[in-house]
Amino acid sequence: MNGIQIKTKMRKKVELKFEWNWKAQMHSIIRLLEMGDSEGKKYAREELLTLADKLDAYNEAYDIPGGILKPNEK
């Protein structure tokens, strides 16, 4: 062989930070409802009902007049 072969490995560290909050959770559920298969849609509906149960329990435990976590009565 003529010449010199130099093998170098370049490594670059990439750090991704994901914050999971309620807004991210809702985006995920909406996406599943819109584009998910039947299993994904079922999961999304169950998650929404679980969240509703938690909000109802919170509202019963902490009765805050005019609280933003109470459902709108229409």
Number of domains in the chain: 1
Report if residue 38 sits inside a domain.
yes
pTM (two decimals): 0.63
Nearest to 22 by CA among 68, 60, 73: 68
Please tell me the distance from the alpha carbon of residue 43 to that of residue 36, in angstroms, as a whole number.
10
28 domain-assigned: yes
The answer to whether the beta carbons of residues 60 and 71 sit under 8 Å apart is no
What is the model's pLDDT at position 38?
95
The pLDDT, as a whole number, for residue 6 is 64
Quick check: is 10 in a domain?
Answer: no
pLDDT digits (tens, 9 = 90+) for 24-48: 999 999 999 999 999 999 999 999 9
27 within domain boundaries: yes
Cβ–Cβ < 8 Å for 29, 48: yes
Residue 3: the pLDDT is 62
Containing domain of residue 45, as a range?
A: 22-61
Assess whether pLDDT exceeds 80 at residue 73. Answer: no
